[in-house]
Structures are given as C-alpha cells and as structure tokens.
Amino acid sequence: MTFLVNSAADFADEALAGMVAAHRRYLRPVHGGVVRATRVPDGQVGVVIGGGSGHYPAFAGWVGPGLAHGAACGNIFASPSASQIYSVLRASDHGAGVFVSFGNYAGDVLHFGEAAEKLRAEGVDVRIVTVSDDIASAPPEQALERRGIAGDLVTFKCAGAAAAAGADLDDVERVARRANDRTRSFGIAFSGCTLPGADHPLFTVPEGQMSLGLGIHGEPGIAEQPIGTADEIADLLVEKVVAEDPGDSKRILAMLNGLGTVKYEELFVTFSRVARQLEERGYEIVEGEVDEQCTSLDMAGLSLTVCWFDDELERLWLAPCDTPAYRKGTVQALERDDRPLDVVEDDVIPDAAPENRAAARLVAEVISDVHAMLVESEGYLGDIDAVAGDGDHGIGMSRGAAAADETAQQAIARGAGTSTLLLRVAEAWSERAGGTSGALWGAALRAAGRRLDDRSALTAAAVIEAARSAVDEIVTVGGAERGDKTMVDAAIPFRDALVSSDRPLAVAWAHAVEAAEAGTEATASIAARRGRAKTHHERSIGTPDPGAVSFSRIVAVIGRRLAGG
C-alpha cells in the first residue's frame, strides 16, 4: 500500500513537483511534465517520452543529456492529456523536429497522436514510435500490438543517444524502430499493486502462486503457477525471452527490472542465474543491468528484458547519458536553460445570446450532476476495471468530471454560451482524466460543442444532433466496434435509439438510455478485444465493461434532468 498520501487525486502531481524539487540540476517543470534544465544545442532533434505516473523512474527520471529532452506525465497509470503532451513537445523543439516514444497503450496512442498533429499543423515535424516489447501481451505475429514495459528504456536510450550525436529526425526514428524490434521483455508478479489512497490491491495472487505475464499498470498476469526458487524463476524468464531471438546476434543487453517491492539483493540472486543461463546459450552480455527502471507502485514482481545488439545499437546504448535515475559515462557540464517555456493562450469568452446563456447554465447544472454521480461511482468503476485492466477508470472519470464541473462554473460566471461551455469542458475533462476515457470523453464533448453555437436557442433537435456527433466521434477516435467490449457497446445503441425516435426529447432520451443499459449489460458475456483488458480477455467475462457502465450512467443522469423539465 501507499503510506504517504495527502489526496489520491493529487498524488501524481505532488510526486512530480517533489521530484523536480529534488532534481533541479536536471529538470524544469512545464505544463504536463518536465523538460531538461540545461541548454540544448539549436538544431538537435528533441526526444520526448511519457505515459502514466506510478512507474518511477519512468518517465521523468529519464530526462537529461544523452537521453530524453522532455517527459509528459499523466495521472497514476493513465496517459497524459493531449494538451499536456503538446506543452512538452513545444518546449522540446529545438529546430530539428521532435521524436516521440511511449508504451503502446490506447490512451497514450490517442493523446500523443492528437498532440503531434497539433504541432505538425504549426510546421514542426513530429515522428512517433510506440514501444511493444512485452511478449506476454500478444503473439509474435502481432508483435506491434504488444504493450511497452521495461523495454521502454532501451528504445528511449538509443533514440536519445542518436539525437545527442547529431542524427537527423529520420535517423532517430529509424534507430528507435530498430531498438524496439530487437527488444523483448517478460515479467512475473507475486502480488498486485495498490493505488494511492486505496485499501486493497488491484489484483491478488493466490498464496504460494506467481502471476505470469503481468502488466505495469496493475493488470493481472495471463496465467498462474506455483512460486519457484530464484533459479527456477530465472530459468523461466530466460526461456520466455530468448524464444524470440532474431538469430543474427549473440551480443546482448540483459536487464533485470524490479517492479517496486522485490529489492536489489533478491534481484542480484536471480540475475546470477540469468547470466549463467544466457552465457550457456552462447550469448555475450555486453552489459547487465539490475535495477528498478520501470516500476508499478508497490507491485512485488520483476521482469527480464533482452536487446539483441547490432554495432549501432550497442554503441548508442553505451553512449554517455546523465539523468536523475540513469547515468552512464561522462557528460560534459552544460549551461542552465532559463528561457520561458509556457505559452499563454487567448482566454476570450465569445458573446452569447441571453437565451443561449440560460441554456448553458442548465448544461452546467447537468455537468455538476454527472460529477456527483461519478464521485459516488468511483469505487465500483475502479473495481470492475481492475478485473482485467488497471483499475484506474473510476478515479480517471471522477477527476475528469471534477475538472469539467469547475471549468463549467467558471465559464458560466463569465457569460459563456453552450458551445463555448462544452468546448472548454472538453479540454478540462481530457486533461484531468487522461487515459483512453479522457481522450474519448474529451473528443465527444468537443464534437457536441462544435455542433452547437452561442447564438441560438437550445432546441430538442440541436440536443439530439449534438449527442449523435458525440457518439460518432467516440467511434471514430476510439476505433472500436460493437462486440469489442468497450464504451461503444453502450454508446451506439444509445445513439441509434435516440436519432430514430419521433417522441418528445425526454421520452426519446429515456428509451435511448434503456438501450445503452442493455448494451452495457450484454458486455458482461463478452471477452474483451480492445484496450488493456484484451490481454486478459477471458478474465473479463462475467464483468461489464467499465467504459460502457460509465457511459450509460452519464446519459441516465442527463435523462433524469430532461424528465424533470
């Protein structure tokens, strides 16, 4: 469990602030994360990494000369928002484009992709490589669909070293893809981790058992078996990883990574056997690493990462770097960078017609109702998400709704209309919630806001059209289909029932809510095919999808407002 907590909702932000305070020589805070505190030569490719918090030293701990230029840092186990990532990208652009890398998780893909497109629209070349080293998360023929775990460091380090050596953006991207393609990881856990402020772990492992193929976001493993000795566990890790040997190199990196609770003496005992096993198979360990480089809060577990070097990757891995958590060789002392970082954007509220402002006040009241419901539902949503996922859905939705509620009240106080209100709420929800749900609800609210305006009365037809646009955007952005066990299993039936009805709005909405609830209930019998739960798809049977549950509950709250006039 986490002993030192002020507020669970603020834990990640406070931890990052403390990290910056402890490492001023390396880090500067910027909206959404950190960047280097030292000057970067003009014309050097910027390397930006990132993801959810809870994995220290990933990701802010790897910012410094020879590695990353910046890190975007989300909430615990949740991706940073697009606006946070964009801020870090902007601050890390030094005139040669920006290379971006992160673990292959749906929320990160959505948010980093959106931020990259925004920067590209400003004329900055941005390239993305997602890390996919975890062999437990997909078969070899679907290697690019795998998630990123401790192998993140290999890809990031080689890309950062290439940028430091003066490589252009094409070469940095090429090196990162090569490193990712030649890196494999596999992990096990003896117990699950506990989110800050929670009173129980995200998953449990039966006494005397160990969970194979765990994820770093508190996802349970794909199988369980009796705990072995350190040597037996080492043999298992080696067997799993070297099964995907590319066959063209015997010079390797071997990294044994602790996930939070398994400490160094235990790791060293295990690594002694790992090294012997690898050497007996004919491998030459160019460098061995035994450390905590990609943790999962207090999870008791470890993982083995192997990278099969070629000459270039070996040189780049061994190149000097100097960051708060990872250092190698000697890096020349650099001048501190005190240039301004944050960009202040225009904050003008457009004029709105009086009847539209009145409608916006009603919308803000509905948002407050949704916020209250999600706070009440936070524990349940987190529990069902933890069955086959990472358990953060409840807190993410609660955080997003809290930010939306606060933003709505501020916008109403300044006379905002319905369109402006929803557009601002969309950005606040997306930024504070993070993760896949943050991206999807941000996109949905943004689409609804764009369908409205600040000058017209809010008619029933306009409400239906805004709702249709919101669901259409969820489907487009998320890429899921009915039957994948996601939010769309509730959203599509809701949309179809609403737009096909010729009844008054409150009645049509109520029938659409019933369709959403039926779609949500049906997800309990479906094995997940998308998102983090897809790795444990069979485990998800019997539990409804948390995204579908939260969707149906939100539209039900709106429906009660409509029924009340």
Mean pLDDT for 171-175 is 98
Q: Band of the pLDDT at 534, cuts 50, 70, 90?
A: low
pTM: 0.87
- Percent with pLDDT over 90 in the chain: 84
What one-character DSSP code corresponds to residue 148?
A: P
Active site residues: 217
Q: What is the pLDDT of residues 383-413, one digit of tens each?
A: 998 886 778 899 899 999 999 999 999 999 9
Q: What is the pLDDT of residues 312-335, one digit of tens each?
A: 999 999 999 999 999 999 888 788
Using the predicted structure, report yes or no on whether residue 84 has a pLDDT greater than 60: yes
Strands 70-76 and 284-291, by their bridges, are: unpaired
Using the predicted structure, report yes or no on whether residue 118 has a pLDDT greater than 90: yes
Q: Identify the burial level of 343 via C-beta atoms within 10 angstroms of its C-beta, where 0-12 means exposed, 13-18 middle and 19 or more buried.
A: exposed
> Cα separation of 160 and 316, whole Å?
8
Q: Domains in the chain, please, with CATH?
A: 8-197+204-328 (3.40.50.10440), 354-563 (1.25.40.340)
Q: Which of 217-226, 228-237, 527-536 has the highest mean pLDDT?
A: 228-237
- Measured torsion, CA atoms of residues 78, 398, 549, 430, in degrees rounded to the nearest 10: -50
Q: Band of the pLDDT at 529, cuts 50, 70, 90?
A: confident
Using the predicted structure, report yes or no on whether residue 219 has a pLDDT greater than 80: no
Using the predicted structure, report yes or no on whether residue 537 has a pLDDT greater than 70: no
Question: Are residues 91 and 70 in contact, defined by beta-carbon separation less than 8 angstroms?
Answer: yes
Q: What is the pLDDT of residues 21-60, one digit of tens each?
A: 999 999 999 999 999 999 999 999 999 999 999 999 999 9
Q: Identify the burial level of 83 via C-beta atoms within 10 angstroms of its C-beta, where 0-12 means exposed, 13-18 middle and 19 or more buried.
A: buried
Mean pLDDT for 87-103 is 97
- How much is the pLDDT for 533? 53
- How much is the pLDDT for 180? 98
Mean predicted lDDT score pLDDT of the chain: 94
Using the predicted structure, report yes or no on whether residue 532 has a pLDDT greater than 80: no
